[in-house]
Amino acid sequence: MMFWFQMRDKRTISAGFSLLLLCMAVGCASPGPPRPPSLNLSQPATDLTAQRVGDQVLLRWTTPDKTTDGLPIKQNLTVRVCRTAFPAVAGSSLPPGANLAPPLLPPVPAANQPTPPCNEVLRVAVHPGVSTATDSLPANLTADPVALLDYRVEIENAATHTAGPSNPAFSAAGTAPAPVESLHASAIPSGAMLEWAAVPTLTRGRPAPFLELNRINSALVAPPRSSTKAKSQPLQLAGAESPEVHLRASSPATGTIDPTARFGQTYLYTAQRVRPIQLNGHAIEVRSVVSPTITLTLRDTFPPAAPTGLATIPTTTPQPGIDLSWQPNAEPDLAGYIVYRRDLAGTTPTRLTPTAIPGSAFRDATAAPGQRYAYTVTAIDTNNNESKASPEAEETLPNP
């Protein structure tokens, strides 16, 4: 009996030793200490931005898809939008005539001070991904004096708990610029002419805001697609212009030229007035509401300049004729020239060139000896826009 127990103990020890060697070779999982239950708190947003447009502040951020424990978020989330208004501090670069906000607003906290408590102004339901919210400002924040607006968002779980506020995003209280009215566009030889109604003269010494025009080429606007992945990819055309172009005009101008607009393209234009403000070290723009969109199809209906320097000379070699020459035109879309001849006894010129000729010279080999003619030349572009006629040049082919 004793021998059996000894053999069993030896087999047990041998099996345990073998298991230890196996764990050392391939590794054995250790459960470790028990983990506490997840609080299901969303990670805070880190990319909050704020843009003042009219009497609203447009907020944008990315709602994380992980909890603070690194687990996927599987529950509904609510964001509370926090807004705190601070007065402009001494030394801020304000437009001339702008007043500081009344002292009843809380002071701006120093960098090492704790984040102010959330002054909730809005609650929105969100999902992981790009999220937006719009804060409609109360009347006391939509008129001067200017003040700094500090925004943060806190993402709540189903139990209304949060992991803390997002990064701050700054905007400004104060009077927004007047919207752009009567925006219209027309084609000119050098591009597109944009014009709008004048804004009333601003008071209190504030400089007029500048005007920003946004142009989109309608051919580069992506059509609706069913795939979410496809929607996130901007449409790009090889060799095409930038899909979106921004132009700037200073007040009190009521018009500007878009020199990069190209003939044959259709453009969508909108405009905003922008009031730049420096508040407590923050550069902020207060924008007007966006103007209605206008559409311009840029068609080339502009003829080239009339050719100049037309000269004629009769020649008898190698065969009789009248040679013409003129100064070449410089238009980039020039297709060529058309030559006309008029018998001085008549009034209607005859076209001598059925198609446009590329060079700035021509020989009239059909001239009759002893007959006096008046010649003119026109220029024509690739869109068949023909210029006015050059001044006439008279010539006679001598009799043989």
* CATH code: domain of residue 56: 2.60.40
Report if residue 80 sits inside a domain.
yes
Report if residue 12 sits inside a domain.
no
The per-residue pLDDT for 377 is 98
Structure tokens at 37: 């239950």
User: Quick one: average pLDDT of 181-185?
Assistant: 97
Give bridge partners of residue 366 from the DSSP assignment: none
pLDDT over threshold 70, residue 73: yes
- pLDDT tens for 224-272 read 454 444 343 444 443 456 788 999 998 788 999 999 999 999 999 999 9
The per-residue pLDDT for 44 is 96
Report if residue 214 sits inside a domain.
yes
Asked if 49 contacts 65 with a C-beta cutoff of 8 angstroms, the reply is no
The per-residue pLDDT for 316 is 84
Residue 251: which CATH number? 2.60.40.10
pLDDT over threshold 70, residue 380: yes
The per-residue pLDDT for 226 is 46
- Average predicted confidence (pLDDT) for the chain: 83
The per-residue pLDDT for 343 is 92
Report if residue 258 sits inside a domain.
yes
pTM of the shown model: 0.73
Span of 153-167, 204-218, 268-282, 373-387 with lowest mean pLDDT: 204-218
- pLDDT tens for 286-296 read 999 999 999 99
pLDDT over threshold 50, residue 180: yes
Chain length of the chain: 400
User: Percentage of the chain surpassing pLDDT 70?
Assistant: 76
Give the strand pairing for 308-315 and 334-343: unpaired
Q: Give the C-alpha separation, 307 to 339, whole Å.
A: 11
CA angle at residue 328 from 325 to 329, to 5 degrees? 140
pLDDT over threshold 80, residue 38: no
SS3 3: helix
Q: Give the C-alpha separation, 90 to 361, whole Å.
A: 74
Q: Are residues 379 and 336 in the same domain?
A: yes
Q: Are residues 59 and 148 in the same domain?
A: yes
The per-residue pLDDT for 30 is 54
pLDDT over threshold 60, residue 369: yes
What is the number of other CB atoms lying within 10 angstroms of the CB of residue 313?
11
Who has greater pLDDT, 332 or 336? 336
Q: Are residues 291 and 343 in the same domain?
A: no
Q: Which of 23, 242, 3 is nearest to 234 (CA)?
A: 242
242 Cβ contact partners less than 8 Å away, ≥ 6 residues apart: none
The per-residue pLDDT for 235 is 42
The domain containing residue 339 runs over which residues? 308-396
Q: Give the C-alpha separation, 356 to 180, whole Å.
A: 46
Q: Give the C-alpha separation, 157 to 40, whole Å.
A: 7
Report if residue 4 sits inside a domain.
no
Total number of domains constituting the chain:
3
Torsion of CA 33, 34, 39, 40, to 10 degrees: 100
Q: Are residues 103 and 165 in the same domain?
A: yes
Span of 33-37, 132-136, 357-361 with lowest mean pLDDT: 33-37
Which of 278, 297, 316 is at the close of a domain?
297
The per-residue pLDDT for 237 is 42
Who has greater pLDDT, 238 or 90? 90
Cis peptide before 179 (omega within 30 of 0): no
CA end-to-end span of the chain, whole Å? 150
Q: Are residues 167 and 272 in the same domain?
A: no
Span of 21-30, 160-169, 240-249 with lowest mean pLDDT: 21-30
Who has greater pLDDT, 253 or 194? 194
Q: Are residues 144 and 259 in the same domain?
A: no
Q: Which of 244, 245, 248, 268 is nearest to 256 (CA)?
A: 248
Residue 206's pLDDT band (cuts 50, 70, 90): low
Who has greater pLDDT, 129 or 318? 129
Which of 271, 297, 323 is at the close of a domain?
297
Residue 347's pLDDT band (cuts 50, 70, 90): confident
Q: Are residues 159 and 262 in the same domain?
A: no
Q: Are residues 318 and 391 in the same domain?
A: yes
Q: Which of 298, 271, 258, 279 is nearest to 383 (CA)?
A: 298
Report if residue 228 sits inside a domain.
no
pLDDT over threshold 80, residue 209: yes
Q: Which of 148, 137, 167 is nearest to 108 (CA)?
A: 148
* C-alpha to C-alpha distances, 369 to 226, 352, 372, 398, nearest whole angstrom: 76, 17, 8, 5
The per-residue pLDDT for 28 is 54
Asked if 169 contacts 48 with a C-beta cutoff of 8 angstroms, the reply is yes
Structure tokens at 224: 């609706």
Structure tokens at 175: 């009077």
Q: Give the C-alpha separation, 314 to 317, whole Å.
A: 10
The per-residue pLDDT for 251 is 78
261 Cβ contact partners less than 8 Å away, ≥ 6 residues apart: 191, 192, 215, 267, 296, 298
SS3 398: coil
Q: Are residues 319 and 374 in the same domain?
A: yes
The per-residue pLDDT for 94 is 45
Q: Which of 376, 363, 358, 381 is nearest to 309 (CA)?
A: 376
Who has greater pLDDT, 165 or 226? 165
Report if residue 365 sits inside a domain.
yes
Q: Are residues 129 and 56 in the same domain?
A: yes
User: Percentage of the chain surpassing pLDDT 90?
Assistant: 65
Q: Are residues 313 and 256 in the same domain?
A: no
Which letter does DSSP use for residue 314 in this model? E
What is the number of other CB atoms lying within 10 angstroms of the CB of residue 302?
16
Q: Give the C-alpha separation, 21 to 38, whole Å.
A: 36
User: Quick one: average pLDDT of 49-66?
Assistant: 97
- pLDDT tens for 91-148 read 444 444 344 433 334 444 445 556 778 899 999 999 999 999 999 999 999 999 999 9
pLDDT over threshold 90, residue 75: no
Q: Are residues 140 and 194 in the same domain?
A: no
The per-residue pLDDT for 27 is 53
Report if residue 277 sits inside a domain.
yes
